[in-house]
Each structure stands twice: as structure tokens, then as C-alpha cells.
């Protein structure tokens, strides 16, 4: 029986390890030909290693699939065209883009440097734009295509020490929505996923106390392989009509996030002054203010 993405060509960035690797493997298992892009950098973006991408390619080929490695960084705009061209040269087309590549430079805000900020924004947000833009022309010409972008509940909700990462991941939400609106007429879909998965980006959580050890044990149930099915589905023709949405996957749970809309309003026929705002704004709006929650405060129950 043919897979759900049989005959399609997919590009997966950051596909050498973790979530990206799991996505690339399942896309291949479901019949797609895959460009496995990964620069092989450390978690903070330093260094490079062609090994991880090639290992995933070898694994796909061993299982009878088709894949090619790409080891250039999505952080360099000109590389996006090179990555797409690798798909065209090898497989003659491109149908699915998964923007998964990312790095972390966690710092409490008053200690965050410009390079901590810029490097994270460059890989996550600029990289997602460059790859999406490079694919968009080809998707438009063939009147089809699906883009899946990785956001995070750190951006959608919040987390300590991640202002750079949060800004990048919320930027990706806007990018995905903008693509969905602009490209709908060409039957191109764009969606965002906030994944929960145990991997390099959360493996540094301390395990000094029993409570911390128990928490980590629960988090380790959330394997990267749990993210892949939704990505593959959204990349398939079966997901027609689903675009501009924000999903999340946590172990066996799949969530659909709401998107920002007005929730309360106040008005005065005679207009506002600072003094009038002081008299009314807090009383009217404070009950509806969004608290300074972190992701763990909102997702407070154990993964199912």
C-alpha cells in the first residue's frame, strides 16, 4: 500500500538529529524522497559535522528509500537556494518543506548579548524565511506545496532566559500565517507546530533532586518520533484545507492553539487622557490580563 506522501519530495532542515531526524525517517517511510539538511553543529550553533546528515541518509537508503544529504547552514540566505536546488537536481521537484533547524543561546535577558540574540534569530527566523522563499517560487509554479514550521510553547506562552528564542519562535508564527494568506490562491499550505520532545534542547534540565529526576523521566516519554506523524500528515494531500494553523504535539496529545484576537475593550466618546486611563484601564482590563506563565505552568499535567 503506498504511503501517504508517496512520490513527494521533502526538504527537512535540522534533520541530522532529534525531531528533524524522526521527521525525515517517517517521510521516507511514507514514500517521500528526502533532502536531509543538517550542518552538524553543536546545540549553540558552533562547529559543523557532515556525519549526522549522512547517517540519516544512509538509514533511509538502507530501508529502501531515497535521500540526499545537504550540509550547508540555513543561516546563510544564499544557501537556501542551494538546498532547494539539491532537491531539484536529485529528485526533479520539491513538495514539502519542514523548517526545523534551530540553536539555543539561553541567557537571562540583562545578560543576553547581541550575538546571542542575532544568532538565534538568524537560524530560526531568517532561516525559515529563506527556505520558505526559496521553495515558494517552485510551489507556485506547480500549484501545490506544504510548509511546516517549528514554533515553540516557549514563544506561544513563555519561558525564562529565552527572550531570543521566544522572539524567533513567535516570528515564525507570523511568517507561517503570512505565507498561508499570501499563497492560498496557489494551493500552498503553511502551518506551525510547537513540539514537545526530549532531545538536545531540553536535555540540560538539572536532575539533582528526586522531583527533578521524576520530571525528566516523564519528559523522556516524549520522543521525537511522536512529532513526526503530524508533520507527515500536514505535508500530505490529505491535509488539504488546513493552513495558517498552530498545532502542538506532546507525547500522545495533539493540541490546536487559538490565535490572538481582541478579548475586551473600553471606549470614551470624549477620548482618553493619561488620567482617564489611570481611572479606568486597570479596573476594566486587569481581570483579563494574561499572567506571566511559563510553558510548564500551562501544561501542568503529565504527558499522556
- Report how many domains make up the chain: 1
- Indicate the range of 43-47, 67-71, 144-148, 258-262 predicted with least confidence: 43-47
- The pTM is what? 0.93
233 is catalytic: no
User: Does 194 map to a domain?
Assistant: yes
- CATH number for the domain that contains residue 128: 3.40.50.720
Which of 129, 165, 196, 247 is labelled catalytic?
165
Instruction: Give pLDDT tens digits for 69-121.
Output: 999 999 999 999 999 999 999 999 999 999 999 999 999 999 999 999 999 99
12 - beta bridge partners?
36, 98
Taking the C-alpha atoms of residue 180 and residue 238, their distance in angstroms, rounded to an integer, is 17
* Residue-wise DSSP of 23-89: HHHHHHHTT-EEEEE-----TTS----SHHHHHHHHHHHHTT--EEEE-S-TTSHHHHHHHHHHHHH
Length of the chain: 304
User: Does 165 map to a domain?
Assistant: yes
User: Does 275 map to a domain?
Assistant: no
User: Does 138 map to a domain?
Assistant: yes
Instruction: Give pLDDT tens digits for 157-212.
Output: 999 999 999 999 999 999 999 999 999 999 999 999 999 987 655 555 556 778 76
User: Does 282 map to a domain?
Assistant: no
User: Does 30 map to a domain?
Assistant: yes
User: Does 38 map to a domain?
Assistant: yes
Taking the C-alpha atoms of residue 105 and residue 113, their distance in angstroms, rounded to an integer, is 10
User: Does 283 map to a domain?
Assistant: no
HSE-CB at 115 with a 13 A cutoff on CA atoms is 3
Query: Where in the sequence is the domain holding 82, given as residue range(s)?
Result: 9-259
Amino acid at each position: 500500500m503506498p504511503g501517504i506522501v508517496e512520490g513527494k519530495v521533502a526538504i527537512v532542515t535540522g534533520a541530522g538529529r532529534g525531531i528533524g531526524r524522526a521527521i525525515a525517517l517517517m517521510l521516507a517511510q511514507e514514500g517521500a524522497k528526502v533532502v536531509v539538511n543538517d550542518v552538524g553543529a553543536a546545540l549553540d550553533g558552533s562547529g559543523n559535522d557532515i556525519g549526522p546528515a549522512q547517517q540519516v541518509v544512509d538509514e533511509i537508503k538502507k530501508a529502501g528509500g531515497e535521500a540526499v544529504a545537504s550540509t550547508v547552514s540555513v543561516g546563510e540566505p544564499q544557501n537556501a537556494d542551494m538546498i532547494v536546488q539539491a532537491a531539484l537536481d536529485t529528485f526533479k521537484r520539491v513538495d514539502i518543506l519542514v523548517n526545523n533547524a534551530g540553536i539555543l543561546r539561553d541567557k537571562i535577558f540583562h545578560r543576553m548579548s547581541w550575538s546571542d540574540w542575532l544568532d538565534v534569530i538568524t537560524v530560526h527566523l531568517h532561516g525559515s524565511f529563506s527556505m520558505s522563499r526559496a521553495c515558494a517560487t517552485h510551489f507556485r509554479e506547480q500549484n501545490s506545496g506544504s510548509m511546516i514550521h517549528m514554533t515553540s510553547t516557549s514563544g506561544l506562552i513563555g519561558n525564562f532566559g529565552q527572550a531570543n528564542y521566544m522572539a524567533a519562535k513567535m516570528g515564525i508564527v507570523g511568517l507561517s500565517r503570512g505565507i498561508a494568506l499570501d499563497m492560498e490562491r496557489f494551493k500552498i499550505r503553511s502551518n506551525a507546530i510547537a513540539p514537545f520532545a526530549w532531545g538536545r534542547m531540553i536535555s540540560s534540565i538539572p536532575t539533582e533532586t528526586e522531583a527533578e529526576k521524576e520530571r525528566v523521566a516523564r519528559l523522556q516519554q516524549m520522543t521525537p518520533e511522536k512529532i513526526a506523524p503530524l508533520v507527515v500528515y500536514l505535508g500530505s494531500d490529505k491535509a488539504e484545507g488546513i493552513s495558517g494553523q498552530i498545532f502542538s504535539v506532546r507525547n500522545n496529545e495533539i493540541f490546536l492553539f487559538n490565535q490572538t484576537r481582541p478579548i475586551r475593550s473600553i471606549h470614551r466618546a470624549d477620548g482618553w487622557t493619561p488620567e482617564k486611563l489611570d481611572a479606568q484601564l486597570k479596573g476594566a482590563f486587569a481581570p483579563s490580563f494574561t499572567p506571566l506563565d511559563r510553558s510548564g505552568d500551562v501544561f501542568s499535567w503529565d504527558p499522556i
